[in-house]
Amino acid sequence: MCILALTSLPLLLLGWTGRKTVYGEYEFDPVKEPGLALVFEGIHDGIYPWKDLPLIGGHKEEAATEQPEEEVAEAGESVTEENAEGQMTQEISGEDAAKDGEKSTASQGETKGADASESYEEADDAEVEKIETLPQNAIHADTDSIPNGVCSPVMQAVDYDVVNVAFLSPDDTEYNTDTEGIFAKNGIYYPLGIVDSTYFGDALFLGDSRTVGLCEYGTLKENASFLAKESVNVYNVLDQELRFVDSSGETWSATVEEILRDYSYGKVYVALGVNELGIGTTYMYYEKYRELLELIREYQPDALIYIQGIMHVSQEKSSSDSCRNNTVISQRNGAISTLANGRDIFYIDMNPYVCDNNGDLLPDLSGDGIHLKASAYENWDRFLMENAVVIGE
C-alpha cells in the first residue's frame, strides 16, 4: 500500500498541475475526479505528463511564449532563487547595454547629423515627385524658360539696313517678366503636335486682311469660325465691328467683345501686326497685344490661346520699306512671343513654311510681297495642323 501511495502521488500532482496545459482540452471536475484520472486518460491518448509540463529550475521557451498570463504566473512559482538571480543579472546587463546603445546612437547622430538631414530632404523631395502626377501629354521643366518643342522659335531675317529706328525698341528692352498671372510660366508645358482639320471645330481666328484670306481660301473654314477685317490693327481691333463667319458659313458683323462674350471656344488664334508696322514702337505694340490677350482670357477662361507670329514680307519689300520690313517684324514677334506660357498660351511662327533661308517671304507665294496668293494658303493650313497642342488625350 505504501508503494502504491508513493507512485500515485507524483501522478496525482502531474495530473493536477497539467489540467490547464497538457490536459487543457479534457473535461475535468476536481470534485468528482482525482487528478490521477487525467494522467491515465492522457496516457491512453498518447499524451504523457512529462512532455510539455514546466520543468524544475526553468521552462521551455516555446511553452512560455504560448502560455496565457495566468499559467505563466503559476510556472514562475517553480523558478529557483538561482534562476531569479540570473534573470536579475540579465535585466541589469540589458539596461547597461541599452544605455551604451543610446550613447552610441547619440554619438553617431552628432557626427552624421548633417548627412542625415540631407538624406531626409532628398527622400522627401523624391516622395513629392512620386506623388505629383503630370497632366496627360504634359512635360515638366523649370520655370526659367519654355523647353524646345512647346512653342515655335521666332524666325529671324536679314537686316537690309533700311529700317526707321523710330519703330523699334532698344535691344535690351524687357517684355514679359511675369512670375504670376496668366502669362507666367509654371513648369508644366504642352508640346506642339500634329492634328487634323476636326481639331479646329471649336476654334476662333481673329485677325486682319491676312486672316480674311485664310477664311476665304483656306480649308479650315469648314470647321472654324473667323472674325477678321482688312486694315484692322492691334490698336483699333476692339473699337470696331469685324466680319464674323461661323463654321456653317453664316456671316454678320460683330465686335470682338460681343463674340467672346456670346460664344465659347476651345482655341483662339490671334494674327495681328502687319498694319501697325508703321505705328509706334515695338513695346507699344506689345502692350496693346497684351491687353487683347487679357480680354480674351477674361471671356474665354478655358481656351488655348495661340499667338501667331507676324508673317514676313518679301525681300523686295523688306529691303526698300523703312517700316514694313522683316527687321521690325522679327523684333515684334520676339516681343509677343514672351507672352506665351507654354501651358495655355502658345507662340507659333508660320514663317519657316513660307520664307526662304534669309527669312524673306518667297516671291512665288505672294503677288504684292505682303499677302499670300490664294493657292498659297494651303501652306498656312498645313502649318496650323502641324503645330497644335492636344491636352488630355
pLDDT higher than threshold 50 for residue 386: yes
Instruction: Output 121 or 331, whichever has higher pLDDT.
Output: 331
User: What share of the chain in percent tops pLDDT 90?
Assistant: 64
Average pLDDT over residues 164-180: 97
Ramachandran category for residue 308: left, alpha or beta (phi over 0 → left; psi -120 to 50 → alpha): beta
pLDDT tens digits for range 261-273:
999 999 999 999 9
Joined together, the cell numbers standing for residue 350 give 508660320
DSSP per-residue codes, 137-202: T-EE--SSSPPBTTBPPPPP----S---GGGS--TT------SSSTT---SEE---B---GGGGGG
Tell me how far apart the alpha carbons of residues 205 and 213 are, in angstroms, rounded to a whole number.
11
Residue 112, pLDDT above cutoff 60: no
- Domains in the chain, CATH or no CATH each: 2-79 (no CATH), 139-385 (3.40.50.1110)
139's grid cell: 512635360
Residue 197 pLDDT exceeds 80: yes
Query: Residue 84: its pLDDT value, please?
Result: 41
Q: Where is pLDDT greater, at 155 or 85?
A: 155
Where is average pLDDT lowest: 20-34, 206-220, 368-382?
20-34
Between 132-141, 163-172, 250-259, 268-277, the lowest mean confidence (pLDDT) is in 132-141
More confident residue, 333 or 14: 333
What pLDDT, on a 0 to 100 scale, did the predictor assign at position 196?
97
Query: What pLDDT, on the 0 to 100 scale, is given for residue 8?
Result: 58
- More confidently predicted of 127 and 8: 8
pLDDT of amino acid 199: 98
What is the phi-psi region of residue 135: left when phi exceeds 0, alpha when psi lies from -120 to 50, beta otherwise? beta
Query: Residue 159 — very low, low, confident or very high, per pLDDT cuts 50/70/90?
Result: very high
Of 45-54, 70-79, 255-264, 296-305, the least confident = 70-79
- Report the C-alpha gap between 269 and 15 in whole angstroms: 96
Calculate ∠ Cα 211-287-255, nearest 5°.
45
> Averaged over 77-86, what is the pLDDT?
43
End-to-end CA distance of the chain: 98
Q: Residue 38 belongs to what H/E stretch?
A: helix 35-44
Q: What is the pLDDT of residues 339-354, one digit of tens each?
A: 999 999 999 999 999 9
Q: What band does 19 get if pLDDT is binned at 50, 70 and 90? A: low
Please provide the DSSP assignment of 67-96 as one string.
S-HHHHHHHHTT--HHHHHHHHHHHHHHHH
pLDDT, position 148:
95
Q: How many of the other CB atoms lie within 10 Å of CB of 302?
A: 9
Provide the pLDDT for residue 26: 61
Dump pLDDT digits (tens) for 285-303. Answer: 999 999 999 999 999 999 9
Mean pLDDT on 225-240: 98
What is the residue-averaged pLDDT of the chain? 81
Residue whose cell numbers read 471649336: 202
Residue 254 scores a pLDDT above 80: yes
**Residues 214 and 380 sit within 8 Å (Cβ to Cβ):** yes
